[in-house]
Amino acid sequence: MTSRALFGFALFLGFLVIIDLYAWKGISTALGNSSVLTRRWVRWVYWAESIGMFALLVWVSISIQELRANRNYSFVFSLAALFMLFLLPKLVVVIFHGMEDVLQGLRWLWCRMAPGGGAEESDKISRLRFVSQVGLALAAIPFGAVLYGITKGRRNFHVQREIITSSKLPKSFNGLRIVQISDMHLGSFPVSSDIVQRGIDLINEQDPDLILFTGDLVNDYSEEAEPWLDALKGLNARLGKYSILGNHDYSDYASWPDAGAKRANLERLKGHHRTLGFRLMLDEHLSIEKDGEQFTMIGVQNWGSRFQQYGDLKKAVAGSDKSQFRLLMSHDPSHWEAQVWEERIDLTLSGHTHGAQFGITIAGQTYSPAQWIYKHWAGLYEHDGMNLYVNRGFGFIGFPGRVGMPPEITVIELNCA
């Protein structure tokens, strides 16, 4: 670790120590009326957890190069989840105890300055302990949410059904059932996990005519997919399986000894798509045929307003029949407004956002941090007769769970107008 990195890490640890100390002050205030035995047990548990987390952070900083070399995303993401599990509740306590301290200071100042008030009276002000008690109670919410996300939330696939109607769709394709999956991030799953197989079984239960995968098979390395190849071969679709690459598939976020090693990794990943029976589409189009009729399938490489712009949409659509129904797979939904509108493509399927893996639904409306970043971040959108569907993702990255934003298998039924 360089001296600059070491200094940054020391500052980070110092910041965490301040949070821990102030959070403990808030907890002590909230438990002020509890028995001595209760406060003693809480103190032991709190500081044992805090010291354990600090020791874990130091170990991770020392072992970071080894962890990178092992490419064990599942383990690293589990450590991140553990960190979030205990840090977020402390932040809630800090916020509410801070509010209490501010209110306490204002009350003290008022008693000092108000007519008839004096130093002796102001010194007798009792604490507004209930504010810290509210904070302590509410701290259970992020703790429970993170715990649910990493145990149940990432396992509970949601099948989202949509019907899209077009006058350009040939009659032979009326009722065509498309299953879209996206963002598998296979390296994020422990090898022992049954989640991937659960998803595969659920996809096959939808009896798809087409399976379309809209990118990010892995986090960085082609080898991440290899434990799952045999299982993923079991995906079945009557009219075929098609796929594209996502921003993570190019391995731009990993360190490579040279450009050749990076290219070899990508070529190996492309081979995995072939092994799985997927036709990987790289800035091209082809016809999907049935009973002598057809529509156009288009697939582009990743193109995003904030991420890599490898895709060439002009090349992909060149020579395609605009009078036919055209379906585009493009990983990043920001591509839709930036370029796809101009090409008048009937239906675009994207992923990429994961719905931020966090969401809350109020009165039937779902809110997510993803909407602060992306205009089109999840679900179905329409513009001037064109449709975009953004899949919320199969897997996860960074935080190894999902809270209020379940992994999604999308079933799209195409109907003739």
pLDDT of residue 290 exceeding 80, the answer is yes
Report the predicted TM-score, pTM, of the whole model to 2 decimal places. Answer: 0.91
Predicted local confidence at residue 387, as pLDDT: 98
Provide mean pLDDT across the span 239-257: 96
At 173-183, the pLDDT tens digits run 999 999 999 99
pLDDT of residue 127 exceeding 70, the answer is no
- Give residue 69's pLDDT band: very low, low, confident or very high (50, 70, 90): confident
Give the largest Cα separation in the chain, rounded: 94
pLDDT of residue 99 exceeding 90, the answer is yes
Read off the DSSP letter of residue 372: G
Residues 149 and 405: their CA atoms lie apart, in Å, by 9
pLDDT of residue 116 exceeding 70, the answer is no
Q: Are strands 326-329 and 360-362 parallel, antiparallel or unpaired?
A: unpaired
Cα separation of the two ends of the chain: 62
Residues 411 and 399: their CA atoms lie apart, in Å, by 26
At 374-395, the pLDDT tens digits run 999 999 999 999 999 999 999 9
User: CA 50, 54, 60, 61: dihedral to nearest 10 degrees?
Assistant: 160
- Output the CA–CA distances (angstroms, integers) from residue 75 to 86, 379, 395, in the order listed: 17, 31, 15
Show me where the domains of the chain are located.
Answer: 3-150, 158-416
CA dihedral sign, ordered 88, 351, 202, 74: negative
pLDDT of residue 280 exceeding 80, the answer is yes
At 220-233, the pLDDT tens digits run 999 999 999 999 99
Strand order in the sheet with 158-166: 158-166, 408-416, 176-181, 210-213, 241-243, 278-280
Residues 113 and 116: their CA atoms lie apart, in Å, by 8
- Output the CA–CA distances (angstroms, integers) from residue 31 to 89, 105, 107, in the order listed: 16, 20, 22
Predicted local confidence at residue 126, as pLDDT: 60
Q: Tokens 């798809």 sit at which residue?
A: 208
- Give residue 151's pLDDT band: very low, low, confident or very high (50, 70, 90): very high
At 32-47, the pLDDT tens digits run 888 999 999 999 999 9
Pull the structure tokens for residue 139: 């701290």
Residues 345 and 407: their CA atoms lie apart, in Å, by 27
Rounded to the nearest 5°, which phi and psi values hold at 98? -60, -40
Q: Which CATH number fits domain 158-416: 3.40.640.10, 3.40.50.2020, 3.60.21.10, 3.10.20.600?
A: 3.60.21.10
Provide mean pLDDT across the span 283-310: 96
Mean pLDDT over all residues of the chain? 93
Quote the percentage of the chain above a pLDDT of 90: 84
- Give residue 326's pLDDT band: very low, low, confident or very high (50, 70, 90): very high
Residues 31 and 10: their CA atoms lie apart, in Å, by 31
Predicted local confidence at residue 117, as pLDDT: 56
Rounded to the nearest 5°, which phi and psi values hold at 165? -110, 140
